[in-house]
Amino acid sequence: GAGVSQSPRYKVAKRGQDVALRCDPISGHVSLFWYQQALGQGPEFLTYFQNEAQLDKSGLPSDRFFAERPEGSVSTLKIQRTQQEDSAVYLCASSLLVGGHEQFFGPGTRLTVL
Amino acid sequence: GQQLNQSPQSMFIQEGEDVSMNCTSSSIFNTWLWYKQDPGEGPVLLIALYKAGELTSNGRLTAQFGITRKDSFLNISASIPSDVGIYFCAGIYNNNDMRFGAGTRLTVKP
């Protein structure tokens, strides 16, 4: 496709459930980023991939959060044993270059944990 | 960490008016960017600034990278209804760590 796509767009989970959020970046983009956006706030950095290598995961809030990009294209953000404070919009962005100053964002997945 | 203070939090203006918003930080950034986010969508890049003192325009939008590298502003001239949305500043210190401000919510009354 022409842009970054994410699925599902909306996810409702019961507390304690595991969830998996998918990101399809723009074809050929080297860099991929995940962000968490709480209501009324700006996005907060979670993790960064350069091709299949996860070079920075300093923003992941706990060890319940795990991301992968095994073939250097599609990425999955997994959250285990979801908690209410995990409720947020999860945004994926990709960039053509290493580091990627000009990032193209997907529409996000809105996660609600009950 | 590097925090960005964005102001104002919200603005209510009349169509045709000019708008100005800014972002400050106690830390230095190497790149400043301005994004616009519509409801249910991801942020869209408006302007990227790479050099201290740089002034860049994109149509009715003008943004500047402050000389101290600790601030940036965005101006929108002759606002129109489709300018409605949330505007975010973002700063990059190293290659992959982009920090966002809390956003300025713009409402334009026709």
pLDDT digits (tens, 9 = 90+) for A48-100: 999 999 999 999 999 999 999 999 999 999 999 999 999 999 999 999 988 76
- pLDDT of A16 reads 97
Interval B7-57: pLDDT, tens: 999 999 999 999 999 999 999 999 999 999 999 999 999 999 999 999 999
Nearest to B43 among A43, A45, A58 (CB): A43
Q: How confident is the model at residue B95 (pLDDT cuts 50, 70, 90)?
A: low
- pLDDT of A92 reads 97
Contact B91, B2 (CB under 8 A): yes
Judged by CB atoms closer than 8 Å, whether chains meet at B42 and A40 is answered as: no
Strands (E), chain A: 5-7, 10-13, 19-24, 31-37, 44-50, 53-56, 65-68, 75-79, 88-95, 104-105, 109-113
Judged by CB atoms closer than 8 Å, whether chains meet at A41 and B103 is answered as: yes
Residue A85, SS3 per DSSP: helix
Interval A12-58: pLDDT, tens: 999 999 999 999 999 999 999 999 999 999 999 999 999 999 999 99
Alpha-carbon gap, residue B95 to B88, rounded angstroms: 19
Interacting residues of B44 by C-beta distance below 8 A, sequence separation 6+: A105, B35, B36, B37, B38
